[in-house]
Amino acid sequence: MVGSGNSKEKETKKDILKNNEMQDQNFNIDINQTTPLICESCGHTHFTQVYLMRKLSPLLSPTGEPALIPIPVYACTKCNHVNPEFLPKEL
């Protein structure tokens, strides 16, 4: 359907404009007023996003099937350590 493709394209453009507006509202922060995050294990300052995986029992799952839940965290690129401050408080 040609009409449905055009509406999806319009929605996408609308979403892009909305995201740009949100980015324009960012605070002007002097980087010198921030503190670096350092790996508590090795002192390295570079991190990459990784995922902790949790398994949900079929008894608790809305589908009745076991489910895997990815939880994004940041790990040191040198030693793979995850600082406790990067973990959800529930863990």
pLDDT digit string, tens, across residues 16-66: 656 555 555 667 889 999 999 999 999 999 999 999 999 999 999 999 999
pLDDT at 91: 83
Can you tell me the distance from the alpha carbon of 46 to that of 57, in angstroms, rounded to the nearest whole number? 35
pLDDT at 24: 56
Considering only residues 82 and 24, tell me which one the structure prediction assigns the higher pLDDT.
82
Can you tell me the distance from the alpha carbon of 27 to that of 24, in angstroms, rounded to the nearest whole number? 9
Q: Assess whether pLDDT exceeds 80 at residue 12.
A: no
Can you tell me the distance from the alpha carbon of 11 to that of 6, in angstroms, rounded to the nearest whole number? 9
